[in-house]
Every structure is written in C-alpha cells, then in structure tokens.
Amino acid sequence: MANIKSSKKSIKKSKNRRTNNISKKSMLRTFIKKVKKAINNKNKALAINQFIIMQKCIDRQSTKGLIHRNKAARYKSKIFKQIKTLTP
C-alpha cells in the first residue's frame, strides 16, 4: 500500500474509473446483444429501434474515449449491414 497521501488518492480514483469503465463497456455489450437478438428473430422494426439506441450509446462512449472511434464505426456498419439484409 502507498504511503503518500496523493498516491492513496490516485489509487482510489483509478479504482473508481475502472469500475465505471467496466460498467459502461458491459452496457455497450448489452445493447449490441439486444440488436443481434432482434436480428436473429428476424424482427426488422425492433432491430432498427434497438440499433438507434445502441448507436447513441456507442457514439457517446467513443467520444469519451472508452472505445476507439474506428471500433465504434466498425460495430455500427457491421450490424447495420445485417439489418439491411432482413426483409420487412
């Protein structure tokens, strides 16, 4: 354990940041799973609604630096291609 007060504080801060980042990444994965589930059920309307929600979440996390912007673009384009192949 650190002896210096600032070191103790930075350990607490990094621990809090880590838990927040884990939580946000988990939320992101959950939204992606919801969209994929709608795609697998061949429900285009639900998939589009879930995609809009997922897209907002991905954009928010990429601007904050949780994931890289190219990774965010890759997620969105890959899933939207799958949605386009569904019949209405």
Query: Domains of the chain: which residue ranges?
Result: 12-85
Give residue 33's pLDDT. 97
Which pTM was predicted? 0.85
The pLDDT tens digits for 28-64 are: 999 999 999 999 999 999 999 999 999 999 999 999 9
Q: What is the pLDDT of residue 87?
A: 79
Share of the chain above pLDDT 70, in %: 100
Q: How many CB atoms lie within 10 A of CB 37?
A: 13
For 3, half-sphere exposure in the C-beta direction (CA atoms, 13 angstrom radius) is 0
Find out if CATH 1.20.58.110 is the number for domain 12-85. yes
For residue 1, name the pLDDT band (cuts at 50, 70, 90). Answer: confident
